[in-house]
Amino acid sequence: EKGGYKHFMLKEIFEQPQAITNTVAGRINLESGKANLPNLGFSDEQLRDIDRIFLVACGTSWHAAMVAKYWLEKYAKIPVQVDIASEFRYRHLLIDERVLTICISQSGETADTLAGIRRAKKMGSKILTICNVVGSTMTREADGVIYTHAGPEIGVASTKAFTAQLSALLLFTVFLGQKRKQLSLEKSLQLGRALVGVATVIEEILPSLQKKIASLIDDYYDSRDFLFIGRGLSFPIALEGALKLKEISYIHAEGYASGELKHGPIALIDRDMPILALVPDDDVYQKSISNVEEIKARQGRLILIGSEGDSQLANISDDVIYLPRVDDDVNPILYTIPAQLLSYEIATRRGCDVDQPRNLAKSVTVE
């Protein structure tokens, strides 16, 4: 049942190219760029009429929502608010018929997320569910559904469901951008091809990446704390990396937006503090590099994850993981993979049960 892998988590990490491909397949025309979500459940007019989007989710799915905000605001040009479902369900909401509420959930059964969409629906919002489980409660209660075709996810730590959620959300961004006449077919085509392409890239690098990471963790697996940092599209991926590590290895880990470091967390940095920094060569690269230099100056133990061919990185740390260059917008999908593998390798080295971490359930159906 684990297909030759030691754990479901590892199997599911390796299933990601397929999960992404299946999620994208048939939903964007790779010649014309036209996005196609036939069973979405909203008319073109409804999609044009919405004036704000709320994204509601928990845990890893909330991190997917944070990435989607950047995409949706950039390409569909619509204001997006991201909420943790347990906050959303109880806070004062300004919601009406012109709001589209999108819940993101692997299981479709998370209690807080479900309560959130019920509340938004009562206030007149339309509901879209992005979900991995066919026929789950959230899919039944929504006006529209986009399925992530990741296949069953057994490991408690979400991996392939997350990268499939990102893929579905980028597709939806393209779709909405087209419907609202904010996104050209040319740019859509570029994004569609980037999505398909990143699946191939992940497929190619996974085995060697796992080896590289396994060889690097000797100096890190024993740590008590870990920081993950990133900027822009990499910020939510830093949060996701920290969540993955803490839930399966029980190492205390925090994710931060790189620019926030000097507002407090930099005080934690000394020669014992490991920091994983995501530094792809993107539009905020120079800023990310300055943040990393500040950490180096304080003797922090840096693992850098950056772009192939970036010669600056080796001057900053001995521990650099290079990833192929892909379209900036799909970097969050690619940069998720090393953080997953790092958590997996560290947790298994520490003898932890990665598929069934203590105190956690796969689906949180109570508040």
**Contact positions vs ligand M6R (CB under 6 A):** 58-61, 105-107, 110, 113, 156-158, 243, 247, 360, 363-364
The 126-131 sheet, strands edge to edge: 80-84, 52-57, 99-105, 126-131, 144-147
User: Would you say 132 or 188 has its CB closer to ligand M6R?
Assistant: 132
What does the alpha-carbon distance between residue 299 and residue 317 come to, in Å, rounded to a whole number? Answer: 10
| CB closer to ligand M6R, 46 vs 363 | 363
| Residues 131, 106 contacting (CB under 8 angstroms) | yes
Contacts of residue 84, Cβ cutoff 8 Å, sequence gap at least 6: 57, 58, 62, 112
What is the nearest approach in angstroms of ligand M6R to the Cβ of residue 358?
Answer: 12
**Alpha-carbon gap, residue 259 to 231, rounded angstroms:** 7
Catalytic residue from among 34, 121, 287, 362: 362
> 104 by DSSP, 3-state: which?
strand
CB of 272 to ligand M6R, least distance (A): 27
Cβ nearer to ligand M6R, comparing 64 with 279: 64
Q: Which residue in 288, 234, 298 sits closest to 266, CA to CA?
A: 298
Nearer to ligand M6R, 206 or 364 (CB): 364
CA neighbor of 150 nearest in space, from 88, 84, 105: 105
Please provide residue 5's backbone torsions phi and psi, each rounded to the nearest 5 degrees: -85, 155
* Beta carbon of residue 132, minimum distance to ligand M6R (angstroms, whole number): 8
Pairing of strands 274-279, 252-257: unpaired
Contact 85, 110 (CB under 8 A): yes
Q: Cβ 106 to ligand M6R, closest distance in Å?
A: 4
Please give the Cα distance from 356 to 358 (Å, whole number): 6
Whole-number minimum distance, CB 309 to ligand M6R, in Å?
Answer: 32
- From CA 364, how far away is CA 361, in angstroms rounded? 6
**Distance from C-alpha of 126 to C-alpha of 98, rounded to nearest angstrom:** 8
Q: Which is nearer to ligand M6R, 59 or 332 (CB)?
A: 59
**Is 6 an annotated catalytic residue?**
no
Of 23 and 110, nearer to ligand M6R (C-beta) is: 110
Catalytic machinery residues: 362
